[in-house]
Amino acid sequence: MNLPSLPDDPDGTNLDFMPQGYPELVGALTHTLGPKNVLTSTEDILPYGFDGTAALKQRPLAVVFARDAAQVSAVLKLARVHRAPVVTRGSGTGLSGGSVPVAGAIVLCLVQMDRIMEVDAANLTLRAEAGAITQRIFDEADAAGLFYPPDPGSMKISTIGGNVAENSGGLRGLKYGVTRDYVMGLEVVLADGSICWLGSKCVKDVAGYNLRDLFVGSEGTLGVITQVLLKLLPKPAARQTLLATFARMDAAAETVSSIIAAKIIPCTLEFLDRKTIQCVEDFAKVGLPRDAEAILLIETDGHPAAVVDEALKVEELCRSHGATTVRRAASAAEAVQLATARRSAFSALARLRPTTILEDVTVPRSELAGMIREVETIAVKHRLNIATFGHFGDGNLHPTILTDERDTEEMQRVEHAFADIVAATLARGGTITGEHGVGLAKKPFLKRQLGDASYELLRLVKRSLDPDGLLNPGKIFDLSETLQSDE
């Protein structure tokens, strides 16, 4: 096989691309990992050609499963010898195309590395392998009377390694922050196969550069995260969930501003518009008001007295800003049901149209009401069906364009609308992604947000840590100038 070697195709845009010596590479991988852990047949690898992102698909050359950091290291070394790109993957639920393979890539799947090794109640930490499921981490902490707050929508199946690589958020970001805020340490395998630990169990640790944070949100482009040391919190003693219904979108947005202005930080402050409410209710049947224009799902947690006090104040603010009804969850089970229903929002919207293009723009909270109105205007302008839901409390919106990827004319309008949403976001001092990552989906807009110097700095970091450009190439940004699709 005499095929071009990798540097000619760092972005994986050549569909027929195959790394040199592919059979030898597969042979060596099989020798290292065992035949059961190397998949190459069409039926086996085709289902690894996508993640949770709409309309992105690329079949890899092979899929391999590693059991520990040593095997990950061996895979990276082999890939380097054969100049094959490596795309790391967990459960494949990402929403920006971060784990969608590039052409000719080896998918390095870490789901078999799923051990939770330690819950350290004395230091409030938990150590787990990268493939451990987020929900299990929450449950293990919970069983020890502790709390792991980040709760991305896909937490029932997402892996902690994927959460860290994408710096995932969730419903509790407003009060508790995102995955980054809970990562105390990482085991990372670098592009050359060396294995290093970054961070420690120490609450204070300023020894050397903070490289740990460099890898959080690096989307598999700088190294492969194989283990994480997480910070846990004491479990809040009480929580109360409220569901407020609004006849006007603006009223809901104003309520959120008033809650923040009253110096209340609820743990969750979620918002769903009418279309989303209806789809979620069709699936979850938890009694959401189908005729409401907007609902707010609000949860406060903490000391029981504080929870009672906050819930009361929030309820008053909702009513004084025009909520038509405010319902209190009667039990913990009902509260969980409501949160679970909310987590299904994105997928439930697929009930309306086959393709759901989910955006993740985030604006300073003071800009929320204006941004929501802007999205509505953009929908009308491009004659598109856009549903919006999101984390109102932290300014993170998920305008979701409901479309059909097979309708090329409509998909063009989708692209224009997306560009308009990005422009409006940036004009308001926002960011193109709050919690899903840049991946492939938002790559064209990154430079506009960062500006030339910061953008160049990212690429400098990438070149330093991955000089061969083999780790998830073509994600976040392109290395070769000519292939840039910006503006």
Partner 1 sequence: MNNSTTTNAPGDMGGSALNATPVSVRETPVSGLAALDYSILQQCMHCGMCLPTCPTYIETKEERHSPRGRISLMRAIADGEIEATKAFGEEMYYCLGCLACTSACPAGVNYAQLFETARSEVEAKGLLDSPKRDAIRWFALRLIFTRPRLLRFVGRLLWLWQVTGAQYAFRKLRLTRLLPADLRRLEPQAPVVQAKFSHQLIAPVERPAQAATKPRRVAVLTGCVQDLIFADINRATVDVLLANGCEVHTPPLQPCCGSLHAHNGDTETAEALARRQIDLIDPFAFDAIISNAGGCGSHLRHYDHILEGDDRYAARAAEWSRKLKDISEYLVEIGFRRPEASAVPAASVDVTYHESCHLCHGQKVSRQPREVLNAVPGVKLHECGEATMCCGSAGIYSITQPETAGWLQQRKLGHLRATGASVVATANPGCHLQIANGFKQAGEATSVVHPIILLADAYRAERAKA
Residues in touch with partner 1 (CB under 8 A): 39, 41-44, 46-52, 54, 65, 91-93, 111-112, 133, 135, 154, 156-158, 279-280, 282-284, 344-348, 350-351, 354-356, 404, 406
Helix/strand number for the chain, H first, E second: 16, 18
Tell the burial category of 448 from Cβ atoms under 10 Å away from its Cβ (0-12, 13-18, 19+).
middle
Q: What is the dihedral of CA 348, 352, 355, 359, to 10 degrees?
A: -60
Size (the chain), residues:
487
Q: Which two tokens stand for residue 20?
A: 């040199």
- Quick one: which of 273, 381, 369, 132 has its CA closest to 148? 132
Distance of CA 249 to the CA centre of its chain: 26
Distance of CA 368 to the CA centre of its chain: 21
- Give 136 or 413: the residue with its C-beta nearer to partner 1: 136
- Give 92 or 390: the residue with its C-beta nearer to partner 1: 92
Q: Kindly report the number of other CB atoms within 10 A of residue 263's CB atom.
A: 7
How far is residue 178's CA from residue 395's CA, in Å, rounded to a whole number?
Answer: 13
- Minimum gap (Å) between residue 404 Cβ and partner 1: 8
- Minimum gap (Å) between residue 100 Cβ and partner 1: 11
The residues, ordered by sequence, that sit 6+ positions from 313 with a Cβ below 8 Å of its Cβ are 262, 264
Judge contact between 11 and 102, C-beta under 8 A. Answer: yes
Burial 374-409 (b: 16+ CB within 10 A, else e): bbeebbeebebebbbbbbbbbbbbbbbbbbebeeee
- Give 130 or 311: the residue with its C-beta nearer to partner 1: 130
- Give 31 or 406: the residue with its C-beta nearer to partner 1: 406
- Minimum gap (Å) between residue 389 Cβ and partner 1: 13
- Give 285 or 416: the residue with its C-beta nearer to partner 1: 285
First to last CA, the chain: 38
- Minimum gap (Å) between residue 209 Cβ and partner 1: 35
- Minimum gap (Å) between residue 130 Cβ and partner 1: 14
- Minimum gap (Å) between residue 250 Cβ and partner 1: 28
Judge contact between 298 and 312, C-beta under 8 A. Answer: no
- Give 158 or 396: the residue with its C-beta nearer to partner 1: 158
- Minimum gap (Å) between residue 347 Cβ and partner 1: 4
- Minimum gap (Å) between residue 359 Cβ and partner 1: 15
- Quick one: which of 324, 343, 340 has its CA closest to 332? 340
- Minimum gap (Å) between residue 338 Cβ and partner 1: 15
The residues, ordered by sequence, that sit 6+ positions from 230 with a Cβ below 8 Å of its Cβ are 125, 126, 127, 128, 137, 148, 160, 182, 183, 184
- Minimum gap (Å) between residue 60 Cβ and partner 1: 11
- Give 59 or 459: the residue with its C-beta nearer to partner 1: 59
Q: What is the dihedral of CA 344, 345, 349, 355, to 10 degrees?
A: -80
